[in-house]
Amino acid sequence: MARLFGTDGVRGIANTFLSPELAFTLGRVGTGIIARRLRRQPTIIVGCDTRLSGDMLEAAVASGIASVGGQAVTIGVIPTPGVAFLVRDLPADAGIIISASHNPMEYNGIKFVSGDGFKLSDEEEQEIEEYISFDEQGIVRFGVYDDFPRPAGGGVGKICRLQNAGERYMRYAKSTVNVSLEGLKVVVDCANGAASSYTPRLLEDLGAHVITVNDKPDGTNINLKCGSIHPQVIGELVVRTGADLGLAHDGDADRLIAVDERGHVVNGDHIMAICGLDLLRKGKLPKKTIVATVYSNLGLVKTFKREGGNVVITQNGDRYVLEEMRKLGVVLGGEQSGHIIFLDRNTTGDGIITALALLSVLRTTGQRLSELASWMEVYPQTLVNVEVSNKESFFSNSRVGRAIERANALVGEEGRIFVRPSGTEPLIRVLGEGADEAMVRTAVSEVVKVVREELSRD
C-alpha cells in the first residue's frame, strides 16, 4: 500500500482506515521506538481538536503508549501548536496530535512531534511504518513485527490528565507581543475547532473588542462552511459590523487567514510579506530571507527582491518549509494557505502567534490592514483542485505530462503551471500563474480537463 504517513501525519476517515486499532498501534510502536532510543520509559503528551472521533482515538493512542510502559499525558482540546510548545515546556519526550486540521469532520489524523517540538523526519516516520502492516481489507494487523515489551503488574504505563495545559500555552502566546489592542474591533472565526476557547479570550485580554463566530464546537461542525477555508464568512461580517479586520483559523488553529476592513482576503503570502518586510525594514530578519512554497504567489518573490530581501522556495508542505528554515537559519516561512512558522516563537505553524504578530505590525505602523496588504505585488493566480480516484498514477501518466508542457508553453517565461497531488486528500492540484489572467485560466482549464479524463476514471 501507499506510504502510511503523508505530509502531515497519518490521515483518513476516522473509525474506518484511521481505526482505534491503528491509533493504538501507532501509539504503541512510536512509544516503543522512543523507549529504545532513550533506554527508559518515555512521557508522551496527547492533544486533539474538537472532532467527535477525538476522544475515541485519544483513548486508543494513550492505551498504546501505556501498553509499552510509557506515560501518556492527555491534555484534551488544544491547538496543534500548543502541543509543540508543551512538549518543550513540561518537558516531555514526544507529543501526539490527533487532528485532521482543515479537513471535514469525518476525517482525523495522528501526527508525532519529537521532544524538541519538531515534527518527525521522513526517516523517523518510515521507522514506525516498518512495524505496521495491513490485511487485504486495509485493517491493521496487530503485532506482526512487534517485538516491543508488554509489561505486566507495576510495569504497565500510566495515563493521566494535565488540567492547566491550555493556560500554559495561552500565557506563552501572549508573551510573544508587547502591544495593546485597545480600541481595535476584530472578528474571529474559530472554525468550531481548537481555537474556540483560546483566540477570542486572548485578544480580549489584550484589549480588543472581539466579535466571535463559529466558536461552539459540537464534534460535527468543525470546518463546516467556516474558518480559514471559507474566509468570505468573516469578510461579510467585518464589513457589516465596521470591524478593523477579521481573523480565521482552521480546525486545529495552526493556520491563519485574515480579511481587511473592506472584507478582502489577506492570505498567507500577504501575511508573510507584511511580517517579513516589517522585520526586514527593522534589520531583524535573519539572512534577509524567508521561506515559501511552490504554491506561493510570484509577487511575494518580486516584493522581497524589490526591498533587498530573498524568498527561498520549497516543495509544498510545512515540513519542507521548516526543514529549509532550519538549514538556512531563518525565522519566518510558510504557505499561502496561512500555515505560517515563526521559528523564534514556536516550532510549527501557529495560527494564534501569527495573529498576534500581524496585529503587532498593524499597531506599530498605525496602518490599516488593506494598506499593509498592498505592500505585496500580486500576480493573477488560478488554483483548481481535481478530485481523482488514483492520485498516485499522476506521475506516470504521459498524456497529463504533455498537457502540462503545453500549458507552460502557453503562459510563457513570465508565468508557470504547477501540478501535484495533494499530500492529504484524493486531489490533484493544478496551479497557474502569470501576468495575463485570461491566458492563465485557459492553460489551467486545459490541464484540468486532461487530469479529469485520465485520473478520475473508476
**Among all residues, which ones are annotated catalytic?**
101
Burial of 40-67, coded b for 16+ CB within 10 Å and e otherwise, reads: ebbbbbbbbbbbbbbebbbbbbbbbbbb
CA distance 340 to 348: 8
Starting from the edge strand earliest in sequence, which strands make up the sheet with 416-421, in order?
A: 381-387, 427-433, 416-421
Burial of 8-38, coded b for 16+ CB within 10 Å and e otherwise, reads: bbbbbebeebbbbebbbbbbbbbbbbbbeee
Rg (CA), the chain: 22
Cβ proximity of 397 and 455 under 8 Å: yes
Q: Cis (ω within 30 of 0) for the bond into 91?
A: yes
DSSP letter, residue 11: E
Is residue 237 left, alpha or beta, with left meaning phi > 0 and alpha meaning psi from -120 to 50? alpha
C-alpha distances (whole Å) from 122 to each of 314, 323, 347 are: 16, 11, 17
Cβ proximity of 93 and 43 under 8 Å: yes
Is residue 334 left, alpha or beta, with left meaning phi > 0 and alpha meaning psi from -120 to 50? left
> Grid coordinates standing for 69?
510502559
Cell 500549458, residue located = 407
Starting from the edge strand earliest in sequence, which strands make up the sheet with 332-334, in order?
A: 310-314, 289-293, 332-334, 340-342
Q: Which helix (H) or strand (E) holds 406?
A: helix 398-411
Q: What is the tally of helices (H) and strands (E) in the chain?
A: 14, 20
Q: Is the dihedral of CA 393, 100, 21, 35 positive or negative?
A: positive
DSSP letter, residue 120: P
Of residues 57, 87, 52, 85, the one with CA closest to residue 73: 87
Cell 466571535, residue located = 212
Strands 159-161 and 71-77: what pairing?
parallel
